[in-house]
Amino acid sequence: MDMQSSIFTQMVLKANPSIRADFHSWMFHVGMLFDAPEKWWGGFGQRDFPHEGVDFCCFRDRSNHRHKLGTQTQIPVMFDGIVRAMFKDYLGQAIVVEHDISVSRGTSKGGLLTVYAHTRPVHGLAPDTQLNQGDIIATIASTHQSKANILPHLHLSVAIPAPGISFDSFVWNIMRDPARMILLNPMFL
């Protein structure tokens, strides 16, 4: 499945009628994609770690014009789940949601996590909040104070956590630790 017809895309379009009216396809710089070794902002160059997800920032309309997502873009949760952690990230807040969905990858099997980063969570969202598929959990955070000259965007990560993982003090380094997380490419969800 491609990202244009994914569950996530359909939910974003449903939550944002102004985008849905013009949306044709997502636009990605190679550095926005899963496992990319390079940056897509500032002076470009190499990342410290391969990219843990996909960054959604721009889309084309049916006339092939480019549009940017803005700070009013509403972010829906992809599946029923429960908020397990929230933490400050580089541009806003990251929201970690655990879903009761069994996923297999190679010899590993476990539940599924989705991480929505660089957001402004909706009022009242907190760890242990129960969510239904499509609930609006956030909007995209402003990047006006960023020194990296980066556009507002949503970072989406998907992972299978190790059994018994603790969500206390959850941060990016946990996402990058293959002993604690198996990262999946969100483009194939």
pLDDT in tens, 7-32: 899 999 999 999 998 899 999 999 99
SS3 168: coil
Phi, psi dihedral angles at 62 (to 5 degrees): -70, -15
Question: Does residue 140 have a pLDDT over 70?
Answer: yes
Give CA separation, 67 vs 25, 84, 112, 164, 184, in Å.
10, 33, 31, 42, 27
Cβ contact 30:38 at 8 Å: yes
What pLDDT was estimated at residue 3? 62
Domain over 1-189 is classified CATH 2.70.70.10: yes
**Pairing assessment for the beta strands 136-140 and 74-76 based on DSSP bridges:** antiparallel
- Determine how many CB atoms are found less than 10 A away from the CB of residue 38: 15
- Determine how many CB atoms are found less than 10 A away from the CB of residue 69: 21
Residue 56 tokens read as 């959604």
Is the Cα dihedral 103, 108, 111, 117 positive or negative?
negative
pLDDT in tens, 90-135: 899 999 999 988 766 555 555 899 999 999 999 999 999 999 999 9
Phi, psi dihedral angles at 15 (to 5 degrees): -75, -15
C-alpha 139/C-alpha 104 separation (Å) is: 31
Ranges of each domain in the chain: 1-189
